[in-house]
Chain A
Amino acid sequence: DGGITQSPKYLFRKEGQNVTLSCEQNLNHDAMYWYRQDPGQGLRLIYYSQIVNDFQKGDIAEGYSVSREKKESFPLTVTSAQKNPTAFYLCASSSGTGFTDTQYFGPGTRLTVL
């Protein structure tokens, strides 16, 4: 079955640590995205990648980093510079970035900073 997987489902981090969230898709999609969701709010775009080896900052990229070395994979690193990283993180992908292209989401990773 085609889809998007994210791991881990839950992640606990101590202050000052970097952590990496995994996102893999087998939909053969060119574009991938990372979103952050805080309680009671909609989604905010962290980073996006329209093609392999290229990525761009979204609205709230400070304290995060990404890489896109393979079409299938778009890992997100939450660095110690992110002031308030506790949130729910969702990865998505789409075949293109046009207004008709639907984004499909993974199951999410819930990050808690202890």
Chain B
Amino acid sequence: AQKITQTQPGMFVQEKEAVTLDCTYDTSDPSYGLFWYKQPSSGEMIFLIYQGSYDQQNATEGRYSLNFQKARKSANLVISASQLGDSAMYFCAMREARFGFQKLVFGTGTRLLVSP
């Protein structure tokens, strides 16, 4: 089973509008971290936001917020007031806390295009 599922291969949004990128995850571990990264065409993976499984509130970082619904195992990224520079690939990732080294598992990504 896929640990991280991103069902939207591509999303379109107009400048200044908000957009939600979906991410669902699968784990039986009560302790885990969820991460979102942005990958522009240059290739670098840029860390955006983190949500821990025990965090009571949804994480926010500037225009980015994470809609964390633990019971539904979803961790959707919300970008408010989209800008042209937000056009990129976005990856959701998870790391569990089981004993021993646990790798960061990535989804397949969502390509976001912001139009003027």
Contact = CB atoms under 8 A, between A and B. Distances in A.
A58 B104 CA distance: 11
A100 B47 contact: no
Contacts of A53: none
Interface string A76-88: 0000000000001
A99 B101 contact: no
Interface residues of B, number: 26
Contacts, number: 60
Interface string A83-114: 00000101010000111111111111010000
Nearest to A44: B106
B28 interface: no
A42 B47 contact: no
Contacts of B104: 45, 103
B103 interface: yes
A1 to B, nearest CB: 14
Contact of B101 (A90, A97, A102, A105): A97
Contacts of B33: 99-101
B43 A107 contact: yes
A101 B97 CA distance: 11
Given A42-B91, A99-B96, A104 B47 contact: yes
A48 B106 CA distance: 16
Nearest to B50: A102
20 contacts: A42-B107, A42-B109, A43-B91, A48-B101, A50-B101, A58-B103, A98-B95, A98-B97, A99-B31, A99-B97, A101-B95, A102-B50, A104-B47, A105-B44, A105-B47, A107-B43, A107-B44, A108-B43, A108-B44, A110-B43
